[in-house]
Amino acid sequence: MYTMPVRRILELGDPMLRVVSAAVRTPAEAARVFEDLRDTLHSFRLAHGFGRGISAVQIGEPKRLIYIELDGSAYRLRNPHLEFESEEKFRLWDDCFSFPDLLVWLERAARVRVRYDDEESRTRVVDASGALAELLQHEIDHLEGVLAIDRALDRTSFATRQEWQARYAGARQRSGE
């Protein structure tokens, strides 16, 4: 029986976070990883007070799998592909499981369309705006080895969580992982 569902989360500096993740051919191959992603996300959220999305590479499995929980819905995306992103952008303080105490001010597309494979190997499309759009972009970046820090708007775009709480919380929108 598999009994180690909560996995260690890779942290900034781990070279695996810079790897381009590999496609996952079957739902069976994805299923165990999705379970671990879900359990790890829940555990992280209890410990840190935030957490809505995670990519497989963050638990040391460089596979193109993303797990998101938002507004009571769970999304299990295998081989997601960003098919469209709007010209319209919005800015937010982003955060990440892999550097939970660092906030990054960056820009994301306001609307995206993502194509992915579901658990029955059907191709699905999700049209997203707002928080889901931003989460999808954050997690798909992970699959390419791209991190939020790479998208910082300038050198003032970083804050520790403590400084962010003191200076920005409430004043600007934060979404993040």
Enumerate the active-site residues.
Answer: 139
Token pair recorded at residue 136 = 């999808």
Which is nearer to Zn ion, 14 or 27 (by Cβ)? 14
| Residue pair 177/93 in contact by the 8 Å Cβ criterion | no
Those residues whose C-beta lies under 8 Å from the C-beta of residue 121, and which sit 6 or more positions away, are 26, 27
Distance, in Å, from the CA atom of 9 to the CA atom of 5, rounded to the nearest integer, reads: 12
Those residues whose C-beta lies under 8 Å from the C-beta of residue 25, and which sit 6 or more positions away, are none
From the CB of 33, what's the least distance to Zn ion, in Å? 16
Which is nearer to Zn ion, 74 or 125 (by Cβ)? 74
Residues in contact with Zn ion by the rule CB under 5 A: 96, 177
Distance, in Å, from the CA atom of 68 to the CA atom of 54, rounded to the nearest integer, reads: 6
Which is nearer to Zn ion, 30 or 148 (by Cβ)? 148
